[in-house]
Structures are given as structure tokens and as C-alpha cells.
């Protein structure tokens, strides 16, 4: 992040107050009036919320490292109506609150934008009407409020919220704007899973701070954006300490969110114990899935069962991100800002320190929640999946060769309400800048697929996310993938459950199945590498 940017922020922050002192009374007046009069909140009088929250995006200084405070952008929250346990703050963190809701509840969120930029909030993974989805065209400016009023229709799962203004999502999330939205339902309630302090959120992000303790974002320019931002330090729950204090003798539900802009993790316990996955994105799994490691792409969530029953006070375990081949950047020329913590290298995520011991009686059930996977024979296009190809063209990341247009929808992006469809997502190479180009060889070229034109192929992993729906995964086709890449990650994928984001590795094809129900309208699907999204790797789809 540049010094310029801070100057601009401070300037805007001081806009009203500062100017009024120096210049004139009328200007002060107009500022004050603007704040008061903009946006009379058109609350729906017939909507009776169970939970009513004010969520304000503000710039705030937070003590992150010793010394100077860090200027962050954060969601401040205030409970207007509802159970006080539905809103939980994380102390001294830039992260927003944890919002807890039950399926069937009605929630109202009054999002107030106090940022020096336009913004809008999106409820990632949630099934909501068009006007509450946080479409980029719904952005509001500084001082304005956007009201969301919807019923929670989703299954129990770990969801989250973050800004979604086109072009600035990466910057806004990076500066701190994100929070968890945890949904519970009856089926989950029957399982007697860990609650309270034993239901433990773990938001993993990467950040770079400069010598003045300020966040650094994309100082490498366009190439940094094309690759996606990588920070050089891992943050947990908006804090730089990579240490969690849990109790020996207890069982835990750890809810992981990869809230990073572009970093992919290969999560594993360093003592060689497998991970017990009990939930993914918008669902709890049918049965616990035991895995040596899990690939966690940006925006994805997994719920992990952690058994510390046989541990003693003073014991420690460590979660790591293991080394893997990402299919890019092996040559090193693209490392730019991230040489200290390259994607696919091995590093520590956090240590769990058991400073206390206690006991609880949460037990891991053998059977969790049946998920009734969609049946491919019920899809309207069962023999003819809708195809979406993600590739680079003319130095831009595209979807079927197109980039973001605020209201445009192509014919192939239009679907019908109350139908089930199969989509095939493919990560294909693309031509960059005619023969040879500036990338030379090595660097981020894909290797080994499609023979001949290899020197022109540029590929990267793309975590693909579709709004409005939760889908099932039907099939991974890895036949065109680099074998070394696939072998280094292949045991870390989960096809079960209801998901909203998939990691599409270079050369990979994934078939997914989804049903469009309840709401018509314009929704987006995009790469959740936030720099790719901001550069236009996002499109509308329309449910008619």
C-alpha cells in the first residue's frame, strides 16, 4: 500500500470536520445535513425481525503489533433487537463480528458505509433474494445505509460476509472487512456438537505490514494483481499471534474460513494425525471424513473435529500448510511481493497450546446429517452440461472469454427458476500476448498440458464461487492436469456436501449440479481470488 493511499484516506476522513474549521460554516452545514438526510431507512413495516443489527464499515486504528496502531477497515456492530448471544465481537481484531442465526429466523441488517469508498455487503453462501445479495450495482457511498431483510433459509453451516463492490473487493477485504455468519438448524441441534467456547472459529488470512505497522496491499502493480495478492504473515482471527489456547481433555469443533485474498492452504496436523472433517461450506457432512490434509481455497470453509481428550496440560499441536505444487510460479520470476512466504511452500498456520485441562462430553457422532445429493438424471441438461471456461485472454482473466459488465448477461448465462442444471467448470490455458510474450518460460506457465502451444499457456488456480446456490460436486476430471500438481494435492478434496466454492486447479475440470429455486434475478459467479475478481473475472447469471 502506498503512502498516497493513506494521505487520501486521511484527507477524506477529515473532509467534514477539517474543512469546517478552516473554511466556512455553510460547508459544515452541508456536510452535517448530508449525513442526516441521506437514506431515510425504508424499513419494511411488515417484516418482523428476530434479529436486527446495525453493521457499520469504518476506518479504525487497531493495535496489532507493538508500537504504532494499524489503520484498518472494520465492521462495527450494534444489536438493535434480538438475543445478545447472536452477536459476538473478537477483541482487538480487525475482523467483523460473528453473527449467529437459526434457520427460519428473520434477520435485518442495516449496513452503513462510513468508508471513503463505495461498498456493499454480500452474504457468502446464503440463499437470499436478489436485492439482498450484495450485487456490485447495489453499492452505496459514504454516509449511506443499505437495509437487508431476509429469512435464513440455509442449512446449518459456516457462512460469512464481506464487501462486494466491483474493483475494490480485494482492498476492502484485505483492510479487514469480513465476518462469520454461523447458521444452526434442528438437524444440527440433534447432534449435540460442541457449543460455546468449544465451537471455535479460525479465520485464516495473510497480511503484510510495513515498518510503520501499516497494511501493505499490491505494491507490485498490475502483475501482482494478475497473480493475486500474497501476504508474508499468517493472521488468525484478525490477529498476528499464531497461537490458540484450548483445553486439554476436551473436544472441539473448529470452524475454518480461508478469508485470504488469494492464498491456498494445504492444512494438516504436524503430528501426522489425520483431519476429521465434519462440515464444508453450507452443510454438515453425512459422516465425518478422515483426511491426511485438506486443500482450503479462498472463501472456503471446513469444520474440523478436534479431539484433545487424551492430551495433557502443557501439550502442544501445530497446524501447518504443507508444500504443494500450484502449477505456477515455480520459476520464481513472479514472486514479487511474496518471496518470504511463497504459495505452496511449507509453513506454520498456528500452534494450539493446552495451558489448562478440563473436560466436556461432546462426542463425535458416527452419522451426521444426510444431505440428499441432487440426482443428475433430474438435470434439464444432463447430457449437455453448461460450460464455463476460465482462462487468460489479452492479459486479462476471463470467463468464456468475457469479463465483468455490471448488468450484462449472455445467453449461456441465463437459467430457469425451478430447474436443476449441471455446469462444467474448466481451467484452460489461454494465449498471452502473441508468440513468446513477456513471460519467457518458467515462471507461471502451465506445464505439460496440450503439448504444442505450451509457451503461450498461462494458468493459475481459480477458486470458483457461485452466488445464490449451494451445489453438489459430481466429478473431477484431472486428465489434463500436470501430474506433479495433482499428486501433491489429490487427497485434499471433498466432493460430499453442499458447497458454494470449488478450487479449480490448472487443467482441471469439475462438474457440479445445482437447483435454482425461490428467487429470480441477477446474481454473480466469479473467481474468489479477489484480485482476479476485481480485474473482471466475474459475470452475471440470470434466473428467469
Residues that bind ligand C2O (CB under 6 A): 122, 124, 162, 164, 299, 465, 467, 524, 526, 528
Smallest distance from the beta carbon of 162 to ligand C2O, in angstroms? 6
Work out what residue 301 binds among ligand C2O, Cu ion, none; the CB cut-off runs from 5 to 8 Å by kind: none
C-alpha distances in angstroms, 464 versus 76, 155, 262?
29, 21, 12
Work out what residue 526 binds among Cu ion, ligand C2O, none; the CB cut-off runs from 5 to 8 Å by kind: ligand C2O
Smallest distance from the beta carbon of 260 to ligand C2O, in angstroms? 12
CB 537 within 8 Å of CB 526: yes
Work out what residue 529 binds among ligand C2O, Cu ion, none; the CB cut-off runs from 5 to 8 Å by kind: Cu ion
| Rounded (5°) CA angle 164-117-204 | 50
Alpha-carbon span 259 to 18, nearest angstrom = 35
> Pick from 357, 331, 352, 349: which is nearest to 445 by CA?
331
Smallest distance from the beta carbon of 299 to ligand C2O, in angstroms? 5
> Pick from 166, 178, 212: which is nearest to 64 by CA?
212
Among 124, 135, 263, 542, contact with Cu ion (rule: CB under 5 A): 124
Work out what residue 428 binds among ligand C2O, Cu ion, none; the CB cut-off runs from 5 to 8 Å by kind: none
Nearer to Cu ion, 70 or 426 (CB): 426
Alpha-carbon span 537 to 404, nearest angstrom = 6
Q: Tell me which residues in 451-480 interact with Cu ion (CB under 5 A).
A: 462, 467
Phi, psi of 106 (to 5 degrees): -100, 130
Nearer to ligand C2O, 265 or 362 (CB): 265
Nearer to ligand C2O, 124 or 428 (CB): 124
Nearer to ligand C2O, 524 or 543 (CB): 524
Alpha-carbon span 225 to 206, nearest angstrom = 15
Nearer to ligand C2O, 164 or 255 (CB): 164
Smallest distance from the beta carbon of 508 to ligand C2O, in angstroms? 20
The count of chain residues that interact with Cu ion, using the rule CB under 5 A, is 6
Q: Is residue 95 part of the contact set for Cu ion (CB under 5 A)?
A: no
CB 169 within 8 Å of CB 118: no
Nearer to Cu ion, 5 or 396 (CB): 396
Q: Is residue 529 part of the contact set for Cu ion (CB under 5 A)?
A: yes
Alpha-carbon span 398 to 148, nearest angstrom = 31
CB 352 within 8 Å of CB 246: yes
SS3 of residue 279 by DSSP: strand
Alpha-carbon span 197 to 496, nearest angstrom = 27
Grid coordinates in use for 293? 490434509
Nearer to ligand C2O, 52 or 133 (CB): 133
Smallest distance from the beta carbon of 432 to ligand C2O, in angstroms? 26
Smallest distance from the beta carbon of 63 to ligand C2O, in angstroms? 28
- Write out 138-195 in H/E/C secondary structure: HCECCCCEEEEEEECCCCCEEEEEEECCCCCHHHHHHCCCCEEEEEECHHHHHCCCCC
Smallest distance from the beta carbon of 224 to ligand C2O, in angstroms? 21
Give the sign of the dihedral formed by CA 113, CA 226, CA 280, CA 473.
positive
Which residues on neighbouring strands pair with residue 201, listed in sequence order? 255
Secondary structure of the chain: what % helix, strand, coil (to 5)?
Answer: 15, 40, 45
For residue 533, what is the enclosing H or E element?
helix 530-534
Nearer to ligand C2O, 122 or 532 (CB): 122
Work out what residue 215 binds among Cu ion, ligand C2O, none; the CB cut-off runs from 5 to 8 Å by kind: none
Alpha-carbon span 20 to 42, nearest angstrom = 30
Alpha-carbon span 152 to 156, nearest angstrom = 10
Nearer to ligand C2O, 303 or 325 (CB): 303
Nearer to ligand C2O, 234 or 524 (CB): 524
Nearer to ligand C2O, 124 or 462 (CB): 124
Nearer to Cu ion, 270 or 480 (CB): 480
Smallest distance from the beta carbon of 452 to Cu ion, in angstroms? 24
The length of the chain in residues reads: 544
Q: Which residues contact 312 (CB under 8 A, 6 or more apart)?
A: 248, 354, 357
The separation between CA 121 and the C-alpha centre of its own chain, rounded to angstroms, equals: 13
Grid coordinates in use for 309? 481428550
Smallest distance from the beta carbon of 425 to Cu ion, in angstroms? 11
Smallest distance from the beta carbon of 255 to ligand C2O, in angstroms? 16
Smallest distance from the beta carbon of 467 to ligand C2O, in angstroms? 6
Work out what residue 299 binds among Cu ion, ligand C2O, none; the CB cut-off runs from 5 to 8 Å by kind: ligand C2O
Work out what residue 9 binds among ligand C2O, Cu ion, none; the CB cut-off runs from 5 to 8 Å by kind: none
Q: Is residue 127 part of the contact set for Cu ion (CB under 5 A)?
A: no
Among 178, 527, 535, 538, contact with Cu ion (rule: CB under 5 A): 527
Work out what residue 527 binds among Cu ion, ligand C2O, none; the CB cut-off runs from 5 to 8 Å by kind: Cu ion
Work out what residue 248 binds among Cu ion, ligand C2O, none; the CB cut-off runs from 5 to 8 Å by kind: none
> Pick from 214, 127, 119: which is nearest to 168 by CA?
119
| CB atoms near residue 169 (< 10 Å) | 25
Q: Which residue has the cell 520459476?
A: 331
Nearer to ligand C2O, 9 or 462 (CB): 462
Smallest distance from the beta carbon of 264 to ligand C2O, in angstroms? 15
Smallest distance from the beta carbon of 180 to ligand C2O, in angstroms? 12
The region of 120-128, 252-260, 411-419, 482-490 touching Cu ion under the rule CB under 5 A is 120-128
Among 532, 534, 538, 540, contact with Cu ion (rule: CB under 5 A): 532
> Pick from 164, 165, 166, 162: which is nearest to 176 by CA?
162
Q: Which residues of the shown chain bind Cu ion in the complex (CB under 5 A)?
A: 124, 462, 467, 527, 529, 532
Amino acid at each position: 500500500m502506498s503512502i498516497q493511499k493513506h494521505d487520501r484516506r486521511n484527507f477524506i476522513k477529515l473532509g467534514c470536520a477539517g474543512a469546517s474549521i478552516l473554511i466556512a460554516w455553510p460547508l459544515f452545514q452541508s456536510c452535517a445535513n448530508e449525513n442526516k438526510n441521506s437514506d431515510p431507512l425504508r424499513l419494511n413495516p411488515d417484516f418482523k425481525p428476530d434479529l436486527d443489527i446495525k453493521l457499520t464499515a469504518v476506518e479504525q486504528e487497531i493495535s496489532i503489533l507493538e508500537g504504532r496502531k494499524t489503520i484498518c477497515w472494520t465492521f462495527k456492530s450494534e444489536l438493535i433487537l434480538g438475543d445478545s448471544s447472536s452477536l459476538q465481537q473478537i477483541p482487538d481484531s480487525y475482523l467483523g463480528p460473528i453473527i449467529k442465526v437459526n434457520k427460519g429466523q428473520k434477520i435485518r441488517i442495516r449496513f452503513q458505509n462510513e468508508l471513503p469508498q463505495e461498498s456493499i455487503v454480500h452474504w457468502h453462501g446464503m440463499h437470499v433474494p436478489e436485492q439482498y445479495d450484495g450485487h456490485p450495482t447495489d453499492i452505496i457511498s459514504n454516509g449511506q445505509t443499505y437495509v437487508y431483510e431476509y429469512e435464513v433459509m440455509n442449512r446449518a453451516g459456516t457462512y460469512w460476509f464481506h464487501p462486494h463492490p466491483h474493483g475494490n473487493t480485494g482492498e476492502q477485504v484485505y483492510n479487514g472487512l469480513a465476518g462469520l455468519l454461523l447458521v444452526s438448524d434442528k438437524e444440527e441441534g440433534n447432534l449435540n456438537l460442541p457449543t460455546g467456547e468449544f465451537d471455535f472459529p479460525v479465520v485464516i488470512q495473510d497480511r503484510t505490514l510495513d515498518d510503520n505497522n501499516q497494511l501493505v496491499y499490491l505494491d507490485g502493480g498490475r502483475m501482482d494483481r494478475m497473480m493475486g495478492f500474497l501476504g508474508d504473515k499468517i493472521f488468525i482471527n484478525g490477529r498476528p499471534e499464531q497461537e490458540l489456547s484450548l483445553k486439554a481433555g476436551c473436544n472441539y469443533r473448529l470452524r475454518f474460513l480461508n478469508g485470504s485474498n488469494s492464498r491456498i492452504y494445504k492444512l494438516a496436523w504436524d503430528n501426522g494425525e489425520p483431519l476429521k472433517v465434519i462440515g464444508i461450506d453450507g452443510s454438515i457432512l453425512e459422516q465425518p471424513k478422515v483426511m491426511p490434509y485438506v486443500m482450503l481455497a479462498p472463501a472456503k470453509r471446513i469444520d474440523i473435529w478436534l479431539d484433545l481428550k487424551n492430551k495433557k496440560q502443557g501439550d502442544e499441536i501445530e497446524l501447518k500448510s504443507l508444500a504443494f505444487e500450484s502449477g505456477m510460479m515455480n520459476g520464481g520470476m513472479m514472486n514479487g511481493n511474496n518471496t518470504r512466504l511463497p504459495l505452496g511452500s511449507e509453513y506454520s498456520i498456528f500452534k494450539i497450546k493446552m495451558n489448562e485441562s478440563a473436560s466436556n462430553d461432546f462426542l463425535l457422532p458416527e452419522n451426521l446429517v444426510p444431505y440428499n445429493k441432487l440426482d443428475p438424471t433430474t438435470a434439464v441438461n444432463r447430457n449437455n452440461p453448461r460450460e464455463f471456461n476460465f482462462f487468460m485472454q489479452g492479459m486479462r482473466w476471463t470467463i468464456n472469454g468475457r469479463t465483468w459488465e455490471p448488468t450484462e448477461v449472455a445467453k449461456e448465462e441465463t437459467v430457469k427458476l425451478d430447474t436443476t442444471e449441471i455446469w462444467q467448470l474448466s481451467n484452460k490455458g489461454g494465449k498471452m500476448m502473441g508468440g513468446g510474450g513477456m513471460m519467457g518460460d518458467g515462471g507461471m506457465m502451465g506445464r505439460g498440458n496440450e503439448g504444442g502451444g505450451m509457451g503461450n499457456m498461462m494458468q493459475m488456480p481459480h477458486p470458483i464461487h457461485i452466488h445464490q446456490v449451494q451445489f453438489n460436486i459430481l466429478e473431477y476430471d484431472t486428465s489434463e492436469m500436470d501430474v506433479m500438481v495433482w499428486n501433491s494435492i489429490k487427497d485434499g478434496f471433498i466432493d460430499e456436501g453442499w458447497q458454494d466454492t470449488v478450487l479449480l486447479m490448472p487443467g482441471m475440470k469439475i462438474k457440479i449440479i445445482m437447483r435454482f429455486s425461490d428467487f429470480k434475478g441477477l446474481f454473480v459467479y466469479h473467481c474468489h481470488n479477489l484480485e482476479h475478481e476485481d480485474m473482471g473475472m466475474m459475470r452475471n447469471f440470470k434466473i428467469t
